[in-house]
Chains A and B, each alone.
Chain A
Amino acid sequence: MQYRVLIVDDSKLARMVMASAFRRVRPDWTLVETANGGEALAAISGGGVDIALIDFNMPEIDGLELVATIRKTHPGMPVAIVSANVQHEIIGRARELNAGFIPKPLTDEALAAFLSGATLRLKKVTP
């Protein structure tokens, strides 16, 4: 099964790193890149986004605020915060929003592990 993954990060380099990791771990999935919360919400409301990977430290809306907004309309969408801000409080708040946490620098292993879990959750929803 191929999924569409939304990437939200204000850094172009971070999006390049993410795209390069996807080419190794899930080469056939489709990526949608956005640079901020507003673009991300527009992409999600346009439909077709299955999974979202969201940077925490972004201008205007931070990643956790964005997840909270996404949760209002998409309570079950697999979502992860991707950040070097590994403070327990940030990881805890992600968990409270039923979101995963992937530390930066991104590793293929951490990305693949989250995506495997996300795939299982999506299969349960649409058997």
Chain B
Amino acid sequence: MTVAALIASDALSEIEQDALAEIANMGVSRAANSLRQMVGEQVLLSVPAVKIVTREAASKLVERNNAKKLVAVQQSFEGPFAGRALLIFPEAQSLELVRSIVGDQHSLEDVIDLEQEALAETGNIILNGCLATIANVLQRTMRMSLPSIVRGDGAALFEVEGPVSAEQFVLFLYIDFNIKERDVHGFIALLMDLPSIAALKEIVNEFISAIEKQPSGHVG
């Protein structure tokens, strides 16, 4: 099957796209709430975007308005569908984020010492909260890997030059966040390869028809 045919068979309808954005929003909102508790300040979120794009296009999207040097905490997930979740922000802001979590009383040396640990645990809490909420909404179970840290440009983060080619299409779900009182902003991105998209489509459709059956139309 050609890539174009795969895309056609796996393309998302408007309602599927809308449902996915809404489900992602529930996950990310929980993540934002977690981040808010950790930093003690308001976290603003953008409207989530759902796109089927190449890895390369996805990498360009996260570089937009950003310095090319990025840092990400990533966790892979497996279950009825599989992929990677990333918490991404400009590398220059990483220490400020860590400082906002461990507290301003720590010296710069302490903050640098703790950076790796703090990023991994922050990513773990935020991404787990997000993925677990999505799994619960869809009534499925997912396994999550341990967090790891990647540094580099968008291409490095999305493995554009890795074993899979840059042209490979992925489902790319992303949302911007901004810590109001600090100069910290970033993205939460979910990346899924094509075989997972078909599985996800089916589950999302189950979710949509379950909502349609509810008399009040109330969404969890």
Contacts and interface: CB of A to CB of B under 8 A. Distances in A.
A84 B135 contact: no
B124 A11 contact: yes
Given A84-B129, A86-B133, A88-B136, A105 B124 contact: no
Contacts of A88: 136
Interface in A3-32: 10-14, 16
Given A13-B117, A104-B34, A107-B37, A57 B124 contact: yes
Interface in B163-192: none
B45 interface: no
A105 B129 CA distance: 9
Contacts of A83: 128
A89 interface: yes
Contacts of A90: 132
Given A59-B146, A83-B128, A84-B34, A89 B141 contact: yes
A85 interface: yes
A84 B27 CA distance: 12
Contacts of B53: none
Contact of A86 (B120, B122, B132, B146): B132
The A contact surface, by secondary structure, is loop
Interface string B101-131: 1100000000000100110111011101101
A116 interface: no
A84 B141 contact: no
B146 A13 contact: no
A88 B133 CA distance: 9
A73 interface: no
Given A13-B118, A85-B128, 12 more contacts: A11-B120, A13-B101, A13-B120, A16-B102, A58-B146, A84-B34, A84-B124, A84-B129, A86-B136, A87-B142, A89-B141, A104-B128
Interface of A: 10-14, 16, 57-59, 83-90, 104-105, 107
What are the 4 closest A-B residue pairs judged by CB atoms, nearest first?
A84-B128, A11-B121, A84-B125, A13-B121
